[in-house]
């Protein structure tokens, strides 16, 4: 008979799916996996292990989970443990409260079933989040009806973008995103066939957001689309900067003037290391700008269980707070969230612990803050270490890692190496990162996966490996870079160009 022809082929595939790129799990990472397997099977390389600094997954890099969070989630999922003397009272109390609120059926003393929750999330967790936000923002009111649990921040970001993308040709929604950006944004924009509007962060000024650049990007974009959304990532991924209050004010003023919906990605709100930096939420700053702004600007902000000091990526916990959303649109959002049933209830429970940690009079308080302090202290040390070692390499320049979990150093790639990469049909920083991986076993992501100014090259590395591994990694980068420059006899040139 004739051969069966597949219906779904690369020709019939949704072209928007084909257009999506996601560097954080891209070709370098696939190659790293292959090398790892090769080493495990006894293969020989100039190194004995692959060190992965490509993805912001703390637990994958050995960071210990926060005990209290795991206790609460364990109690929720196996309530018989509520009888166990090895769990503290405060963890049991939280688990009971979540179980009682999430709508499962009680069997004997316990709620044993883990049903779908309300699509917006468990009520008492939304209330806890509102209380957390009020405390974080020094009293700025938060209404729990504006809070929605999500499947990680990613899901919230995509849900809001879906509401915003519409129109054809000149009326198509333009989405302003920072460059460099976290590639969830470019991927979602590509998938939705929206228009990506780039605004460049100022590398010479610690990756600050310059409002003049926002104006430039907006005016240029207006010629071919309808910019409706302004996305901000603060603290920044991949750039690690923490925005000043003045800068946030300028951005919000700009959004107000130009009628832009603001999406504030604040998943790194607990990851601030530089002593002269502080996290300011967009919501708090909007409030401080007065009622004219606070009652007008449409703002969605996003948080996650994946980052911070918990690093619980696998639970897929997250939430968003949305202010000044048109009430009818809000109903439409709720409808869309309902179609997805609900975010994982375990992730919601994890999120609850983050917003409702043990109080000073509770038994777990001491251990909780000790563990939190250790994680954040280690990250702060590693942020400094990374900046220092990288800046000592000729031809590498790294801005301070003020927050988040990444360094995004600028690397000098000699013109002859650039030509060689182009001849191979490869981005120069992709060639650089591939060679770094092949020769040293270090896995980082090329800057081109995040976007960068034409002719400048970077890579993104996380600061998540243990301090010892991070030192090894940085020393290897140091040696590799010098060897690379020497190979193209460009050591002097590099010293002049970047430092
Ligand atoms: C800036 C930024 N936003 C969102 C996310 C997605 O996080 P989640 O695991 O909550 O979906 C990440 C993950 O790395 C991120 O870096």
The answer to whether the CB of 271 is under 6 A from ligand 1 is no
**Ligand 1 center to 267 CA (angstroms):** 6
197 and 228 Cβ atoms separated by less than 8 Å: no
Claim to verify: residue 166 and residue 239 sit in the same structural domain: yes
My answer on whether 253 and 222 are in the same domain is: yes
Six-digit token pair at 349? 């429970």
Q: Is the CB of 56 under 6 A from ligand 1?
A: yes
CA 61 / ligand 1 centre spacing (Å)? 16
In this structure, are residues 339 and 319 in contact, taking their beta carbons and an 8 Å threshold?
A: no
55 lines ligand 1 (CB under 6 A): no
Whole-number pLDDT of residue 70 = 97
Spatial contact of 409 and 395, defined as CB atoms under 8 Å apart: no
Residue 8 lies in a domain: no
Is 204 inside a domain boundary?
A: yes
**Residues near 444 by beta carbon (within 8 Å), at least 6 away in sequence:** 28, 53, 54, 433, 436, 459, 460, 461
Q: Verify that 289 and 427 share a domain, yes or no.
A: no
Identify whether 145 is part of a domain: yes
- Whether residue 55 is contained in a domain is answered as yes
Residue 102: inside a domain, yes or no?
no
Residue 90 belongs to some domain of the structure: no
- Ligand 1 touching residue 182 (CB < 6 A): yes
Beta carbons of 71 and 87 less than 8 angstroms apart: yes
Question: Total structural domains in the chain?
Answer: 2
| Residue 397 and residue 299 in one domain | no
Tell me the best of 60, 153, 265 to mutate to test the pocket of ligand 1, counting ligand atoms within 8 Å of each CB and taking the most: 153
Residues 226 and 295 in one domain: yes
Question: Within this chain, do residues 339 and 229 fall inside the same structural domain, yes or no?
Answer: yes
CA of 153 to the centre of ligand 1 (A): 6
Give the Cα separation of 87 and 98 in Å (integer).
16
Instruction: Check pocket membership of 418 for ligand 1, CB cut-off 6 A.
Output: no
265 lines ligand 1 (CB under 6 A): yes
> Are 321 and 277 contained in the same domain?
yes
The finding on whether 153 has its CB within 6 A of some atom of ligand 1 is yes
In this predicted structure, what is the pLDDT of residue 408? Answer: 97
68 lies in some domain = no
Same domain for 146 and 203? Answer: yes
Q: Residue 304 maps to which CATH number?
A: 3.40.640.10
b/e sequence 112-123, b meaning 16+ C-beta within 10 Å: eebeebbbbbbe
Do both 385 and 321 map to the same domain?
no
Give the CATH number for residue 481. 3.90.1150.10
- What is the Å distance from ligand 1's center to 152 Cα? 7
Cβ-count burial of 360 within 10 angstroms (0-12 exposed, 13-18 middle, 19+ buried)? Answer: exposed
What is the reported pLDDT for 112?
Answer: 52
* CA-closest candidate to residue 57, choices 189, 237, 208, 206: 237
Domain of residue 461: give its range: 15-62+370-497
Q: Which of 309, 329, 355 is the last residue of a domain?
A: 355
487 shares a domain with 437: yes
Q: What pLDDT tens digit does each residue of the chain (499 aa) get?
A: 688 999 999 999 998 898 888 776 778 999 999 999 999 999 999 999 999 999 888 888 888 999 999 999 999 999 889 999 999 999 999 999 888 887 655 545 555 556 788 889 999 999 999 999 999 999 999 999 999 999 999 999 999 999 999 999 999 999 999 999 999 999 999 999 999 999 999 999 999 999 999 999 999 999 999 999 999 999 999 999 999 999 999 999 999 999 999 999 999 999 999 999 999 999 999 999 999 999 999 999 999 999 999 999 999 999 999 999 999 999 999 999 998 889 999 999 999 999 999 999 999 999 999 999 999 999 999 999 999 999 999 999 999 999 999 999 999 999 999 999 999 999 999 999 999 999 999 999 999 999 999 999 999 999 999 999 999 999 999 999 999 999 987 767 766 665 4
Distance CA 69, CA 80 (A): 17
User: Which pLDDT score, from 0 to 100, does residue 499 have?
Assistant: 47
Query: Do 169 and 286 sit in the same domain of this protein?
Result: yes
Domain boundary among 355, 381, 406: 355
Residues 383 and 314 in one domain: no
């Amino acid at each position: 008979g004739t051969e069966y022809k597949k219906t779904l082929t690369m020709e019939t595939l949704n072209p928007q799916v084909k257009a999506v790129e996601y560097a954080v799990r891209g070709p370098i990472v696939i190659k790293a996996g292959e090398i790892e397997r090769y080493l495990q099977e006894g293969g020989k390389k100039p190194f004995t292990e692959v060190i992965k600094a490509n993805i912001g997954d703390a637990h994958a890099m050995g960071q210990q989970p926060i005990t209290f969070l795991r206790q609460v989630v364990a109690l929720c999922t196996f309530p018989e443990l509520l009888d166990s003397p090895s769990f503290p009272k405060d963890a049991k109390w939280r688990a009971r409260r979540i179980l009682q609120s999430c709508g499962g059926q009680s069997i004997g003393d316990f709620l044993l079933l883990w049903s779908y929750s309300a699509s917006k999330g468990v009520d008492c967790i939304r209330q806890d989040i509102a209380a957390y936000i009020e405390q974080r923002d020094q009293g700025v009111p938060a209404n729990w009806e504006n809070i929605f649990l999500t499947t990680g921040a990613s899901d919230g970001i995509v849900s809001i973008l879906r509401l915003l993308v519409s129109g054809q040709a000149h009326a198509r929604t333009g989405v302003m995103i920072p460059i460099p950006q976290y590639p969830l944004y470019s991927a979602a924009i590509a998938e939705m066939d929206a228009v990506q509007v780039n605004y460049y962060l100022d590398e010479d000024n610690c990756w600050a957001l310059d409002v003049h650049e926002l104006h430039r990007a907006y005016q240029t974009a207006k010629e071919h689309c309808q910019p409706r959304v302004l996305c901000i990532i603060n603290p920044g991924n991949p750039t690690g900067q923490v925005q000043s209050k003045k800068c946030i004010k300028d951005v919000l003023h700009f959004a107000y003037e130009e009628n832009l919906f603001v999406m504030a990605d604040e998943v790194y709100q607990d990851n601030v290391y530089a002593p002269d930096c502080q996290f300011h939420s967009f919501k708090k700053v909007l409030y401080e700008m007065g009622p004219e702004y606070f009652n007008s600007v449409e703002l969605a902000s996003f948080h996650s269980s994946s980052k911070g000091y918990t690093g619980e990526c696998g639970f897929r916990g997250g939430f968003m707070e949305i202010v000044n959303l048109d009430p009818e649109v809000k109903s439409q959002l709720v409808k869309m969230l309902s179609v997805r049933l609900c975010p994982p209830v375990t992730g919601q429970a994890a999120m609850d612990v983050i917003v409702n940690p043990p109080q000073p009079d509770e038994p777990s308080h001491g251990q909780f803050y000790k563990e939190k302090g250790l994680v954040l202290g280690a990250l702060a040390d590693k942020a400094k270490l990374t900046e220092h070692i990288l800046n000592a390499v000729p031809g590498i320049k790294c801005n301070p890692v003020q927050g988040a979990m990444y360094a995004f150093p600028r690397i000098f790639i000699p013109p002859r190496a650039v030509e060689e990469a182009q001849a191979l049909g490869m981005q120069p920083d992709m060639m650089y990162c591939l060679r770094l991986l092949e020769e040293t076993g270090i896995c980082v992501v090329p800057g081109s996966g995040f976007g960068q100014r034409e002719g400048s090259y970077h890579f993104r590395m996380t600061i998540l490996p243990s301090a010892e591994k991070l030192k090894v990694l940085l020393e290897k980068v140091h040696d590799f870079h010098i060897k690379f420059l020497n190979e193209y006899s460009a050591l002097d040139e590099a010293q002049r160009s970047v430092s």
